[in-house]
Amino acid sequence: MTSYDYQEALKNAAKTMVRVKNPRRLLKMIVRFIVKEVGLSHASILMFDQLKSRYIFVDSKGSHRIPINLIKLDQSNPLIQWFSDPAPKAKLNKDFLACTELTSWLQNSEMTHHNAPLKARLLQLKDVLETLKATVCVPGFYKDELLGVLILGNKLKGGQFSLEEISFFQTLANDASMAIKTAEYQEDLLSKNLQLEKQKRELEIRLQEIAELRKKEQETYYQIVMSLAQEVNAKDPYTAGHLKGVERLGIMTAQEMGYDLSGRKKDVLVASLHLHDVGKIGVPDHILLKPASLTEEEWKIMRQHPSKGAKILEPLSGFKEVANVVLHHHENYDGTGYPDGLRGEKIPLEARIVSVVDSFHAIVSKRCYSKGQPIDAAFKELERCAGTQFDPHVVEAFIRAYKRTLNGKHHKEESAHRLAS
Amino acid sequence: MKLLIVDDEVEICDFLKSFFEERNYEVKTASSGQAALTAAEQFKPNVVLLDIKMPGMDGIQVLGTLKKKFPRMKVIMVTALETRDKIEECLRLGADNYITKPLSLEYLENDVREKIEALTSSGAS
């Protein structure tokens, strides 16, 4: 190869090294390239195996190639020592090792008595070179770390390597070392990245599991709350089994008012209609079921049931609106109700509807403290309290819807009872 | 100092042959279990370097036969296999050492020399 050829070859090799991400493949390419382009009996690459801290052959090509996977060179091997030991190496060139140079040194008359240790070392080194049939060895460093050794056989055309050729191999060896280190770092980064991704996925799965558990827990809690509500109703023999009727009347009223029941709004209304009295579970039976008027003290306790109900619903994250309706279903339109004395539109609409439907029920059903009254009397009572206790719009809508249903059925009393029950 | 090298990879046989010949051993090679038995019969080596993984008759079978026929022949297993079971089986069958590839040539040469020295000293006594 001419000087121009080497420069071209180097340029091409450098370009390839940038592209090849797998260092092993890169080394194989280098070995093939050298054997073919330079024309050698063989070329081999020794590479550092970090895991087992030894040097192994990763590739060897040519007629005198070294079998891959047969030999390892320990760090104590004379050849490895020669390159990795930073101690000065006599007058020998330490950037590469040429067999001819070594031989001439050993034959040199200067190699006298006091050089015995060095001579022994060089003899061992020569032995290794002969075993590997190496003419020239070129180390590849990254910083001060010996990453590998390029081992070259004879030139097929005969003759010694020129300095230009050796410097070409050195450049190749060092570029390859750089490429190997870069690939190692990239691989390291990649595996760290993968690990992070894995941890992230695991975390997501855990979070999802927690969310599902929470959901399940909430569902269970909701079941408990619903059975509490039924319990409360069952306690009062006159309202037992009325929940379905209350639900129907409430929805009817909301629709009559033109209230949008799409999405979750219907669920909130229905749940509120069912659960508004759930707090009564905290009211003692002797007050709740007393067949006479309540004393002031007893009323005080009775009036706690909306806030008790809201408290029961508190742990249900999806029931914030329902809890608010439950809390305010005894507020009056004129602000005289409890617990907060809210007025007018400040009271949630659902609570205003619950208030009317619940009161209607109380009037028409034969509760323990008063005899049941006919539907017309109940309407009159609602109208009388419209604007004070009740939202007049709700009362109006309720009566209109109720009457329309009655007319539609043509069975006044019967239907009324079915609706109310 | 007669050495028989058995490996189904001819490249390995050739490399080790030239390595030991340079160190004044008389070397023959065989690239199958059957060829190894024939060579052992005719050549009567002092030491056999024996690969385990070979097509047909494997190294463990060869080891068993060799040790039965030639109890004084030293057999060093040289193999890439490194499971506990294999090592134990080889030692049970009388293998004199077990060296895994990739190997250190220095260690291998020392071991072969040791085996031969042991033979000559025991033969002398």
CATH of the domain at B58: 3.40.50.2300
Residue B118 lies in a domain: no
ipTM of the complex: 0.84
Render each residue's pLDDT in chain A as its tens digit; 421 residues: 566 777 777 677 666 666 666 777 778 888 888 888 788 889 999 999 888 889 999 889 888 889 988 999 999 999 998 888 766 555 556 688 888 888 888 887 566 666 777 788 888 999 999 999 999 999 998 888 888 999 999 988 888 888 888 888 888 888 888 878 887 788 888 889 999 999 999 999 999 998 888 888 778 877 877 777 777 777 665 555 566 777 888 999 999 998 888 777 888 888 898 888 888 888 888 888 888 888 999 999 999 999 999 998 888 777 889 999 999 999 999 999 999 999 999 999 999 999 999 888 778 875 544 555 678 888 998 999 999 999 999 999 999 988 887 766 544 444 455 555 4
Domain that holds residue B77: 2-109
CA distance B10 to chain A (A): 9
pLDDT, averaged per 10 consecutive residues of chain B (125 residues), comes to 94 94 95 95 96 91 94 93 85 93 93 91 62
Instruction: Give the span between the Cα atoms of A27 and A374, in whole angstroms.
Output: 100
Contacts of A72 in chain B (CB under 8 A): 102-104
Instruction: Give the span between the Cα atoms of A162 and A172, in whole angstroms.
Output: 15
Residue B76 lies in a domain: yes
Residue B125 lies in a domain: no
pLDDT of residue A383: 93
Q: Do residue B101 and residue A70 have CB atoms under 8 angstroms apart?
A: yes
Burial A332-368 (b: 16+ CB within 10 A, else e): bbeeebeeeebeeeebbbbbbbbbbbbbbbbbbbebe
Q: Do residue B102 and residue A65 have CB atoms under 8 angstroms apart?
A: no
C-alpha torsion sign, points A288, A289, A295, A297: negative
Number of Cβ within 10 Å of residue A166's Cβ equals 18
Which of A56, A67, A73 lies at the smallest CB-CB distance from B11? Answer: A67
Contacts of A55 in chain B (CB under 8 A): none
CA-based nearest residue in chain B for residue A64: B15
Q: Which residues contact A398 (CB under 8 A, 6 or more apart)?
A: A249, A252, A253, A256, A353, A356, A357, A360, A382
Which of A65, A69, A77 lies at the smallest CB-CB distance from B102? Answer: A69
pLDDT of residue A22: 72
Q: Do residue A131 and residue B19 have CB atoms under 8 angstroms apart?
A: yes
Q: Where in chain A is the domain with CATH 3.30.450.40?
A: 3-190
Instruction: Give the span between the Cα atoms of B11 and A70, in whole angstroms.
Output: 10
Instruction: Give the span between the Cα atoms of A202 and A186, in whole angstroms.
Output: 24
Instruction: Give the span between the Cα atoms of A43 and A56, in whole angstroms.
Output: 14
Residue B2: closest CA among B24, B27, B23, B22:
B27
Contacts of B106 in chain A (CB under 8 A): 77
Q: What helix, strand, coil percent values describe chain A, rounded to 5? A: 60, 10, 30
Q: Which residues contact A421 (CB under 8 A, 6 or more apart)?
A: A241, A242, A245
CA distance B20 to chain A (A): 10
Q: How far is CA A192 from CA A199, B76, B117, in A?
A: 11, 43, 53
Instruction: Give the span between the Cα atoms of B81 and A403, in whole angstroms.
Output: 94
Instruction: Tell me which CATH homologous superfamily contains domain A3-190.
Output: GAF domain (3.30.450.40)
CA distance B50 to chain A (A): 13
Which residue blocks in A116-162 are alpha helix, DSSP H? Answer: 116-131
Contact yes or no for B31/B7 (Cβ under 8 A): yes
Residue B120 lies in a domain: no
* DSSP letter assigned to residue A135: S
Contacts of B22 in chain A (CB under 8 A): 130-131
pTM for the complete prediction?
0.57
**Is there a cis peptide before residue A374, judged by omega within 30 degrees of 0?**
no
CATH of domain A236-420: 1.10.3210.10
Q: Do residue A56 and residue B101 have CB atoms under 8 angstroms apart?
A: no
Q: How many domains does chain B have?
A: 1
Q: Do residue B105 and residue A71 have CB atoms under 8 angstroms apart?
A: yes
Q: Which residues contact A177 (CB under 8 A, 6 or more apart)?
A: A140, A141, A142, A147, A148
Q: Where in chain A is the domain with CATH 1.10.3210.10?
A: 236-420
Residue A129: closest CA among A92, A88, A178:
A92
Contacts of A131 in chain B (CB under 8 A): 19, 22, 105
